[in-house]
């Protein structure tokens, strides 16, 4: 019985993951042509409040061996998840640089993103995480300090 339950769970997880990936692809494919191109990526970045340079977008598109249709997107995710793509620290750094404004991250904007997008955090999880961060009196988080804390890099704390 346990094996049946485990197989059911794995099947449900795979279906859930597939649904999320299809949904993500559909959101990114702004012009609905089945290919994620330069304008689609620009629209995706704009929708989360980040201005991406043409160079950044070109670099992302060049990671794919072919035009980015759904299958190619799955291949890109598989490479990233296998660890043969970007270093985990690079992923963390790039994720938080998305929110960076002159070395600071707007705490409320980050809070909104964490409870709204991707693997959603609960408000309590966000509060617990924010308790570990230095947030100034204007509600901003120091980006380099946050990245150093999350990646274990940077200056050591003085005792």
34/105 same-domain check: no
State yes or no: pLDDT of 145 exceeds 50: yes
Reduced to 3 states (helix: H, G, I; strand: E, B; else coil), residue 117 is: coil
Q: What is the pLDDT of residue 108?
A: 93
Range of the domain at 44: 1-82
Q: Where are the beta strands (DSSP E) in the chain?
A: 100-101, 104-106, 140-142
State yes or no: pLDDT of 73 exceeds 80: yes
Q: What is the pLDDT of residue 159?
A: 40
Number of folded domains that form the chain: 2
45/3 same-domain check: yes
Residue 128 included in any domain: yes
Q: What is the pLDDT of residues 109-140, one digit of tens each?
A: 999 888 887 778 889 988 988 888 889 999 99
Q: What is the pLDDT of residue 19?
A: 75
69/121 same-domain check: no
CA neighbor of 143 nearest in space, from 91, 100, 114 = 100
Average pLDDT in the 26-55 region?
Answer: 89
Residue 158 included in any domain: no
Q: Are 141 and 134 in contact (CB under 8 A)?
A: yes
Residue 43 included in any domain: yes
Give the span between the Cα atoms of 93 and 87, in whole angstroms: 10
């Amino acid at each position: 019985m346990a094996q049946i339950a485990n197989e059911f769970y794995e099947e449900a997880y795979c279906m859930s993951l597939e649904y999320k990936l299809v949904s993500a692809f559909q959101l990114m494919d702004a012009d609905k042509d089945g290919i994620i191109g330069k304008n689609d990526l620009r629209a995706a970045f704009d929708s989360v409040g980040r201005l991406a340079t043409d160079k950044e977008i070109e670099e992302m598109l060049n990671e794919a061996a072919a035009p980015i249709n759904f299958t190619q997107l799955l291949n890109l995710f598989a490479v990233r998840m296998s660890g043969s793509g970007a270093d985990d620290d690079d992923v963390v750094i790039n994720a938080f640089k998305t929110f960076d404004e002159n070395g600071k991250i707007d705490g409320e904007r980050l809070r909104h993103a964490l409870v709204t997008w991707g693997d959603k955090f609960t408000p309590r999880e966000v509060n617990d995480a924010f308790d570990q961060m230095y947030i100034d009196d204007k509600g901003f988080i120091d980006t380099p300090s946050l990245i150093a804390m999350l990646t274990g890099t940077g200056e050591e704390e003085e005792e």
